[in-house]
């Protein structure tokens, strides 16, 4: 297990180097920079000083070497759109909001989606099954921002705020502010998990070892708990890790609609403003989250299914 994790961590570092390199050169191949796209009219002397400060006067290959050297020491640089603020400070300020929204949406989507999938599989070809299938199709087909707009329209004026976010104690306070964005962000996940869980349970129910357990006289509850559900979770784990990472990285539309001070909205603003340091910093963060989620998925395989062995050489 240790050798396998160590090997995967080496792959993680190599993957990050490739992602950072590609992102850096693709980003610098675009016309313009943070100073040229800025709406502020700066005196030529100030603009030149900023170019020297941020290294924009140097060749792109030299800037790449400087950036990789700083990145190795944990220095993500200073934001070009908000001088004086480093990427680390912006992460500390904005990441908790994105993380709380992602955690709540993932837990809600998995709980409801898996429950719907299990109920649907044990009521196959009934109105319950057809209802779950309809919900799954609706959840996959309709974008999350449509649900967000509908929730805001029909729940406005009630006890649930349609915009805003807790200003203090971001992990524990202001739950009512998080309800609507959590619901809007989780609809797609509910549809995905319910569909995969239904198919997985139906597949496991038809296996020979389930028929053997029934022939031995095992109770239905024991068969469901110990054999069907446990083996059905293996495909779910495959999508759960990347799904959670995608919530952390892809919720910028929901954050903008509900005025949530998260990283997603800042990422969009950084791209529009050619804020190179922030684009690179958030690319590294998102890449780490996604790759680590895949590693966690592989480790969970061995926890749920004893037949899966993790070794350094295989």
Location of structure tokens 């480790």 = 299
Please say if the pLDDT value at position 308 is more than 70. Answer: no
pLDDT for the residue numbered 250? 63
> Residues 165-178, buried b or exposed e (16+ Cβ, 10 A)?
bbeeebeeeeeebb
Tell me yes or no: is domain 94-275+285-304 CATH 1.10.3720.10. Answer: yes
pLDDT for the residue numbered 249? 67
pLDDT for the residue numbered 314? 45
Any idea where the domains of the chain sit in the sequence?
94-275+285-304
pLDDT for the residue numbered 35? 63
- Banded pLDDT at 38 (limits 50, 70, 90): low
DSSP letters, 237-304, are HHHHHHHHHHHHHS-HHHHHHTT--SHHHHHHHHHHTT-HHHHHHHHHHHHHHHHHHHHHHHHHHHHH
Location of structure tokens 């030149």 = 48
**What is the chain's mean pLDDT, rounded?**
80
């Amino acid at each position: 297990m240790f050798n396998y994790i160590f090997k995967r961590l080496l792959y993680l570092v190599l993957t990050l180097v490739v992602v950072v390199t590609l992102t850096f050169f693709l980003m610098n191949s675009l016309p313009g920079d943070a100073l040229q796209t800025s709406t502020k009219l700066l005196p030529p002397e100030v603009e030149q000083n900023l170019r020297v400060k941020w290294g924009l006067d140097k060749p792109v290959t030299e800037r790449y070497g400087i950036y990789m050297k700083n990145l190795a020491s944990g220095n993500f640089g200073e934001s070009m759109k908000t001088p004086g603020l480093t990427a680390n400070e912006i992460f500390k300020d904005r990441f908790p909001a994105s993380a709380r929204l992602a955690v709540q949406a993932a837990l809600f989507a998995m709980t409801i989606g898996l429950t719907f999938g299990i109920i649907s599989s044990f009521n196959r070809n009934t109105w319950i099954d057809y209802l779950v299938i309809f919900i799954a199709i609706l959840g996959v087909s309709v974008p999350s921002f449509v649900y967000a707009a509908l929730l805001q329209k029909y729940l406005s004026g009630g006890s649930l705020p349609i915009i805003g976010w807790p200003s203090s104690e971001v992990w524990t306070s202001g739950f009512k502010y998080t309800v609507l964005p959590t619901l809007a962000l989780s609809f797609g996940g509910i549809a995905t998990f319910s569909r995969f869980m239904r198919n997985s349970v139906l597949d496991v129910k038809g296996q020979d070892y389930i028929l053997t357990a029934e022939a031995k006289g095992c109770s239905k509850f024991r068969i469901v708990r110990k054999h069907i559900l446990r083996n059905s979770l293996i495909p779910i784990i495959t999508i759960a890790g990347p799904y959670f990472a995608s919530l952390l990285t892809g919720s910028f539309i929901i954050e903008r609609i509900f005025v949530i001070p998260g990283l997603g909205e800042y990422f969009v603003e950084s791209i529009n403003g050619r804020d190179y340091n922030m684009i690179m910093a958030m690319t590294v963060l998102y890449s780490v989250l996604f790759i680590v989620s895949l590693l966690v998925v592989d480790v969970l395989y061995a926890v749920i299914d004893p037949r899966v062995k993790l070794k350094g050489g295989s």
